[in-house]
Structure 1
Amino acid sequence: MKSDLVIVYHRAPYEEVMEDGVIVLREHKSPNGIVPTLKALIGRIERAAWVAWKEAEDPAHPDFERVVDISDSFGTYAVSRLPLTAEQVRSFYHVTSKEAFWPILHGFKERYNYDPVDWPTFRAVNWAFAEAAAEEASDDAVVWVHDYNLWLVPGYLRQLKPSVRIAFFHHTPFPAPDMFNVLPWRREIVDSLLACDAVGFHVPRYAQNFMAVAHSLAGAHALQDAETDPRLASAGTALNEMFTPLALAVDGRTVRIDTNPVGVNFSYIEDLAAAPAVAEKVEAIRAGLDGAKLVLSVSRTDYTKGNVQQLEAFERLLKRRPDLLGQVRFMLVSVGANRGMSIYEDVQQRIEELTGRINGTFGSFEWQPVSLISTAIPLPELVAYYRAAHVAAITPLADGLNLVASEFCAAQGEDGAGVLILSEFAGASVLLEGAIPVNPFSNAHMDNALEQALAMPAAEAHGRMALLRASARRFTLQSWADATLDGFAALKASPVAATAPAA
């Protein structure tokens, strides 16, 4: 049976675990993260499917079923498992996506690495994803493609199944033309995205950048724009946009541009923070601080996340303010990703070196100023740290959105007085009102923000957190799902906008 909604994402919508010698497909425990976020729509569609890759030694004869039916708390849906070799995965994801695309998306031109890219393999993998999606989709289905490693899927899918509506959602920043056009495959990528009926982004800046890239490469022009929704604007900040594009025209076709930031499961985190077991953990954390203030930062290990800059700022604080020795601690949760990639190993090594230097210089047998956690923390425990922290420092050098900031606000509760330091270059900076904005490229900005947060009076901190929580509540998992489904309904009520791009 064909599906009315097909989600195309590189990761599977479940965890594979070994139980009693048998592989079991288990639902993700946490309600947060990109996979549960996408699955929030599945239970609201009569028939849905998901396309993801699964490693196989011989893709022509994989040792697993290509399509399986899954039933979990989100609903019942089909999962089409695309068999890829380990080398295909390494090439299309770890090399092309992470070494060529990732640095350009985040504005790190100096880290861009063109040499090892195998573009034919990237094309072949994207074509295989498009074939699998076409096989699962009904004639008038919506096919929802996710993120930059599947940039070519829309163009291929339009050739394979012209009748479907194609939506694409970009989870990372989208750069301006002078950065994006570094990519030698830029026209092929943009032509594929322009084969969509709708292209979506978190915040107006990324939508504007896409409009500019489409204009520079394909001659597209803005068909409709509007003053930016006040909830998506923060005057004077680095990512603020006064106007938001709604549609573009190219070659006689119309492509809708959606701006719809993903949110967190706010009420779930709020309830979790109030649970007795979490409340006990909060008390234990605070007792262990022995009166010191806790500065918390949570992210993946990545040069875009600003972890090194955070440690350097904390080191400068302790040098500048010896009176704070023993009075403030910094907990950095920096979870390793994509092990085996030298660009991430170098960042991890630098983080570990800085942590050792700070603890060796300023610590004692009784007190260590920095705690470094390099493994994922279960959500209930993480929520306890959110609630116990006096300051959350979320200071990426570039970030598509950053949901940790909203999680921190949700966990604080109605009586919360935690202070949020938030980078101007995180997409969330235009959504969350009440944070201390910081430019992570400036030592002075980082230093002043940390001093301000630690010295903030309780009344001001409580007032700021009330504003933060109110703004974080505007964009939740539920609101994102509602807006997305409304957009799909509008697509299905209108003619197919795009035609197949030239081969």
Structure 2
Amino acid sequence: MASTHVASAHGAAQVLVASNRGPVSYEVQEDGSLRTKRGGGGLVSGLSAIGPDAGALWVCSTLSDGDREAVRRGEGESGVRMLDIPADVHADAYNGIANSVLWFVHHMLYQTPLEPVFDAEFQRRWASYETYNRAFAEALAEEAAAGAAVLVQDYHLCLVPGMLREQRPDLRIGHFSHTPWAPVDYFRMLPDDIRSQLMSGMLGADRLGFLTRRWADAFTACCAEQGGLGGTEIGVHGLGADADFLRKRSHERDVEERMTALREEIGGPDRKTIVRVDRTELSKNIVRGLLAYRQLLDDRPEWRERVVHVAFAYPSRQDLAVYRDYTAEVQRLAEEINSSYGTPGWTPVVLHVKDDFARSLAAYRLADVALVNPIRDGMNLVAKEVPVVSDEGCALVLSREAGAYEELGEDAIVVNPYDVLDTARALHEALTLPPHERAERTKRLAAAATALPPGQWFMEQLRALRA
């Protein structure tokens, strides 16, 4: 497997990050040149916190033809090594195992009378997952300086710590899970040998990080069947919102323009807004959120023409049929609500499915109520971002199954995400919250949401790993 290889020197990296998606991606332009696109997110912010002289290297996978072309040409960003994993191997490992099996297990998404089915096709894909993880382990072993710190990210790379430990016992190896961890009875659904392999892979790390104590405890319970944690430490690091970036970005011109456009779509300065911003991810529970909004309009007809549900459902994993079907159901239900309840001057649901970060920030600023009702979520940064950028204060309706509940539950209106009637009642309570109480809650939510911003979150893990 080829790779863009621009580390400062062979085996010289002192801090290494490994993740499926890297901090940059490449696109081939019409003239044949490569266009570089930089990514965002907590990891990118975190790695930048250690400074340019730290000897850091990010190891990631090629995800597009542009990425693969960058590898072939030997072009790439300094401090990034991109692994040219064959597209079919990556597809089997990423979609066939990580997203269709591990994600479903940790988010408890299976319709168990029919799925999962662990057959010969599953075993074939699992072999690709092993190959994919081994490519990362070999690259990290090759690049790391003696005693270097390696921070492996997420469910795509669960086998890497164990594989890397075999090759480089001198390294300090950490792994961080950005998802929930399945309860022991649900995790037991996996074939015994696969379950054993996953746990051995994870326990190859010196230290494992989780977003909440709940997910850490679930992992520890799963370890009991494997003979315990051994010498592996467990840490909890609740990734926070990047307040400085969000506040600055949310007042740039394109966001102001989106606010003007959104106000027109909402119509009328006195209308309240219930905002949600999600990927159309099965665990985000968008359909039940729409059902709860419809229930609100049924139960409380006084809200008709006085409230608009602004719902941004950005496409996710559309190469998987179950996700395409889910996206279609979200759109169908929004249209049904609009045709049943809408009037010439009022569209009850304003639905957007094209990803637009500036528009998301505009909605955050305008929101009277933020609806975050996942059936299961590792953290949910939307719940943390809205209070930070809200202009007038925003009531948060929050699922008790979101990781963010542990930090924000006290000042949110908490719901059982499966209970549509309960969620409709919560929306009414949120809409009628007195302005002074809403402002006070928002202030406390914003403080809790920014307690561990990305830079600190990353450095806290790095320090703990090196300790």
Q: TM-score, normalised by structure 1?
A: 0.83
How far off its partner does 1:168 sit? 0.3
Higher strand share: 1
SS for the counterpart of 2:450 is helix
Question: Are residue 446 (structure 1) and residue 433 (structure 2) matched?
Answer: no
Offset of 1:480 from its aligned partner?
0.7
Give secondary structure in 1 for the equivalent of 2:250.
Answer: helix
Counterpart amino acid of 2:394?
A: G
> Is residue 54 of structure 1 aligned with residue 62 of structure 2?
yes
Partner of 1:197: 206
Q: Structure 2 CA distance, aligned partners of 1:274 and 1:128?
A: 42
Query: Shift of residue 485 of structure 1?
Result: 2.7
- The answer on whether the counterparts of 2:206 and 2:465 sit within 8 Å (CA) in structure 1 is no
Deviations 1:323-367 (A, max 9, x none): 222111111111111122011011111111101111111113332
Which residue identity lines up with residue 90 of structure 2 in the other structure?
V
- Measure how far apart 1:41 and its partner are: 4.4
Cα displacement string for residues 249-291 of structure 1 (whole angstroms, at most 9, x for unaligned residues): x2xxx11111111122112212333456645654664465302
Root-mean-square deviation (CA), in Å? 2.3
SS state of the match for residue 292, structure 2?
Answer: helix
Asked if 2 retains the 8 angstrom alpha-carbon contact of 1:67 and 1:80, the reply is: no
1:135 aligns with 2:135: no
Q: The residue matched to 2:197 in structure 1 has which SS?
A: helix
Q: Distance in 2 between matches of 1:212 and 1:68?
A: 45
**SS across alignment from 1:16:** strand
Tell me: CA distance 1:94–1:355, structure 2 relative to 1, closer, same or farther (3 Å).
same
After superposition, give the CA deviation of every residue in 1:230-250 in whole Å (9 maximum; x if it has no partner). Answer: xxxxxxxxxxxxxxxxxx4x2
- The residue aligned with 1:349 is 328
CA distance in 2, matches of 1:485, 1:398: 27
Question: Out of 19, 22, 35, which is 1:12 matched to?
Answer: 22
Match for 1:328: what amino acid?
V
Equivalent residues in 2 for 1:23-34 (5 A)? 23-24=33-34, 26-28=36-38, 31=40, 33-34=41-42
In the alignment, does 2:167 pair up with 1:172? no
Between structures 1 and 2, the one with greater helix share: 2
Distance in 1 (CA, whole Å) between partners of 2:325 and 2:215 is: 29
* 1:461 shift after superposition: 0.9
Q: Is the 8 A contact 1:147 1:169 kept in 2?
A: yes
Distance 1:42 1:25, change over 3 A: farther
Q: What is the TM-score when the length of structure 2 is the normalising length? A: 0.89
Give runs of aligned pairs for residues 357-372 of structure 1, distance below 5 A: 357-372=336-351
Aligned to 2:283: 304
Deviations 1:8-55 (Å, cap 9, x if unpaired)?
Answer: 1011211313445244353526x4x25524533453652111111226
Q: 1:408 to 1:56 in 2, by over 3 A?
A: closer
* Structure 2 counterpart SS, 1:87: helix
Instruction: Tell me if the contact between 1:126 and 1:153 (Cα under 8 Å) persists in the aligned partners.
Output: yes
Tell me which moved more, 40-49 or 316-325: 40-49
Alpha carbons 1:40, 1:481 under 8 Å: kept: no
Q: Identify unmatched segments of 5+ residues in structure 2.
A: 1-8
Between 299-308 and 33-42, the greater mean CA deviation after superposition: 33-42
Contact 1:68 1:80 in 2 (8 A): no
Identity level (%): 29
- Cα 1:20–1:453 change in 2 (3 A) is same
> Is structure 2 residue 308 aligned with structure 1 residue 329?
yes
- SS in structure 2 at match of 1:64: helix
Query: Given the alignment of the two structures, is residue 90 of structure 1 paired with residue 91 of structure 2, yes or no?
Result: yes
Render the CA deviation track for 1:404-462: whole Å, top value 9, x for unaligned.
Answer: 1111011015xx32111111111011112411111111123212111101111111111
Give, in whole Å, the separation in 1 of the partners of 2:275 and 2:244. Answer: 22
SS of structure 1 residue aligned to 2:282: coil
Structure 2 contact 146–170 (Cα < 8 Å) conserved: yes
The SS at the match of 1:430 is helix
CA distance in 2, matches of 1:186, 1:83: 28
Which residue of 141, 145, 151 maps to 2:152? 145
- Residues 153-211 of structure 1, C-alpha deviation per residue, up to 9 Å, x if partnerless? 11111112121111000000011211112111111110111111000001101111111
Q: Which amino acid in the other structure matches residue 470 of structure 1?
A: A
CA distance in 2: counterparts of 1:302 and 1:219, whole angstroms: 35
One-letter identity of the residue aligned with 1:173: P
Structure-2 residue corresponding to 1:493: none
* Deviation at residue 112 of structure 1 after TM alignment: 3.5
Match of 2:402 in 1: 426
Please list every run of at least 4 consecutive aligned residues from structure 1 whose deviation after the TM superposition is greater than 6 angstroms: none
- Does 2:252 align with 1:255? no
Residue 227 of structure 2 corresponds to residue 219 of structure 1: yes
| Counterpart for residue 5 of structure 2 | none
- Cα deviation, residue 489, structure 1: 2.8
Cα distance in structure 1, aligned partners of 2:52 and 2:429: 45
